[in-house]
Structure formats: structure tokens, C-alpha cells
Amino acid sequence: MTLPVSVQNASKSFGDVVAVDDVTLDLRAGECLGMLGPNGAGKSTLLSLLLGLRRPTAGRVLLFGGDPGDPAFRQRVGSTPQRSAVPEALRAREALEIVSAHYVTPTPVDDIIDEFGLGEVARKQCGSLSGGWQRRLAVAMAFVGTPSLVVLDEPTTGLDVEARTTLWDALRARHAAGCTIIVTSHHLEEIEALAQRVVVMDGGRVLADDDLPAVLARVSRRRVALRADVRQLESLDAASDVRASDDGRATVLTADADAFVRELVASGIPFSDLAVRGATLEEAFLTITKGSER
């Protein structure tokens, strides 16, 4: 069966900057792939290669077995750009209708409005909508053509919790109906909510490509701050990264804060002022990035 996406040793440079560096990646029909990585990791550039917006400097990218720039293949793909670009003077419904006219088998606009919870803004001009509503509309536009592959670059950036949940539900329903999805995000919880497979990128390269539980098992998801001797903390098995903070405390990244605290207490290392919080995405993926450097 033809793969929706096949990236074969693809690279893309902008002058001296290698934005995508020898990436190989196949996406099977019906997968939901989450793509994570810090700013500048190369995610958007890779997506632009898949969408035929840019050509690789080296290697090959195939969309449904053909050239991503070919309109016949692009009919089967929906995408939302990172920055919302909706026509300001049109009403939301009109904007959806215009997009719909470009496709051979569009989903009825009324269905899209229901699916993405756009009823209350359908008659409003796009330019008058808040950033969050514009974002929802832009994501809905990606689905108007009844695509078999959808590429979403940070779909819920700027959305409140309720809007994000509505959007996640809609994406999960499309995925359950057979749509293949690629989604990038800066939020680990977004990838957890949507994806079964996760690719972690940094420096243009793929550092991890595995199913969600396997990738989560490799990342340090909690950050523990405490006053203690940094060298002594480094000897603990549950501490994957230990640093001295500017405020005189030590910061420990760990996959399991409970296990770390148990080990710390059992070790007898003196400590005080301990606080635990979720790691940021960049912190969480330090573990994988450091592993690749080694």
C-alpha cells in the first residue's frame, strides 16, 4: 500500500543553516504522529517539505508515492499554517465555503461548523474574531477538503483550555475515522492527548521515533528544586540531570519524582526547601538530546 508520507534521507539548508539534516521517516495510513522539539529544531521546515512548499536540498520526499508539489496529491492533504491566515473581511462561514470550493469531495460546511464548535462565530467577520477563534477556524479549514492526511503545525497555540479540548476531540474523531495526522507541538500534554507515535527533533535531526509510551519513558518529566550538595545528588539513580541554579538551589530532572525523593531520603544526603513541578518541554527532552550527544 502507498505510504501517505515517505521522507528518504532528506536535508534542507538555508545558506549555512542546516534546518533538516538527513531525515528518514515513513508515515503509514491511519497513524497520528506527534512531532516534538525545541524552537528551531526543524519541525516546520520538515513539514514544508512534506507539503511541497519547499524542495529538499538533498534526499527525497514522497506524498502518497508522488511529488508533494503535484496538485493531484495536494487535494488529499489538509494543513494549517503556524500563523493563522484568515481573510479579514469575510464571515467565518464564507471563508469555509471558499476553501470548500477548491476541493472535489468537501465536507459540508455546516458539518465542519458543528465539528469544530464554530456555530457562535459562523456569521462574524474573520477580522473581528479573537486570535483563539481565528486559530480554531484555521484548523477547521484544514479539514474542509475531507483530506486523508492532515498536517497541523502547533494547532492549539493561544487557545484556552475549553477551546483546546474541543479541538482535540475533533482531531481524535477524524483520526478514529481513518485520517492520517501529523501534529507538531510545544506542549507534551498535547502530544500525549493525540499521538500514538512520537518523533523528537533537534538540530534538524530525528533523535527519537517510537510509540508514545516508549518516548515518554525516556524523558524526564519532573523538575525538583532543593537545597543540597550538587555532587551528592548526582550519585542518585533517579536523577537524570542535576544542575546548580542561580538562587543557590539545585535543580534535578527526573522521570519519577516520588522515586527520586525516596532515594534521596534513604541516602541520608542533607537537603531542605524541596519543591516539585512539571518540567518544561525543553527540560523534558534534555534527556534525549544529551543521550544523542553521547
Ligand X SMILES: Nc1ncnc2c1ncn2[C@@H]1O[C@H](COP(=O)(O)OP(=O)(O)OP(=O)(O)O)[C@@H](O)[C@H]1O
Instruction: State the pairing for strand pair 32-36/197-202.
Output: parallel
CB of residue 117 to ligand X, shortest distance in Å = 26
| Long-range pairs of 250-254 with CB within 8 A, sequence gap ≥ 24 | 250/225, 250/226, 251/223, 251/224, 251/225, 252/223, 252/224, 252/225, 252/226, 253/220, 253/222, 253/223, 253/224, 253/279, 253/283, 253/284, 253/286, 253/287, 254/220, 254/222, 254/224
If the CB atoms of residues 18 and 216 are measured against ligand X, the closer one turns out to be 18
Instruction: Tell me which of 4, 34, 37, 52 binds ligand X, using CB under 6 A.
Output: 37
Region binding ligand X by CB under 6 A among candidate stretches 39-47, 92-100, 156-164, 233-241 = 39-47
CA atoms within 13 A on the CB side of 212: 13
**135: which residues sit within 8 A by CB, 6+ positions away?**
84, 155, 156, 157, 158, 159, 163
Is 34 among the residues that bind ligand X (CB under 6 A)?
no
Is 106 among the residues that bind ligand X (CB under 6 A)?
no
If the CB atoms of residues 4 and 42 are measured against ligand X, the closer one turns out to be 42
Q: Shortest CA distance to 77 belongs to which of 154, 201, 182, 167?
A: 182
Is 232 among the residues that bind ligand X (CB under 6 A)?
no
Q: Shortest CA distance to 40 belongs to which of 18, 23, 57?
A: 18
Is 43 among the residues that bind ligand X (CB under 6 A)?
yes
CB of residue 39 to ligand X, shortest distance in Å = 3
If the CB atoms of residues 44 and 148 are measured against ligand X, the closer one turns out to be 44
Is 197 among the residues that bind ligand X (CB under 6 A)?
no
Is 24 among the residues that bind ligand X (CB under 6 A)?
no
Instruction: Tell me which of 3, 29, 44, 90 binds ligand X, using CB under 6 A.
Output: 44
Instruction: Tell me which of 5, 10, 25, 41 binds ligand X, using CB under 6 A.
Output: 41
Is 14 among the residues that bind ligand X (CB under 6 A)?
yes
Interactions with ligand X, residue window 250-289 (CB under 6 A): none
If the CB atoms of residues 19 and 126 are measured against ligand X, the closer one turns out to be 19
Query: Could you tell me the three cell numbers for 232?
Result: 551528592
CB of residue 186 to ligand X, shortest distance in Å = 6
CB of residue 17 to ligand X, shortest distance in Å = 5
Per-residue CA distances from 123 to 35, 89, 99, 169 (Å): 34, 12, 16, 23
Interface ranges with ligand X (CB under 6 A): 14, 17, 19, 37, 39-45
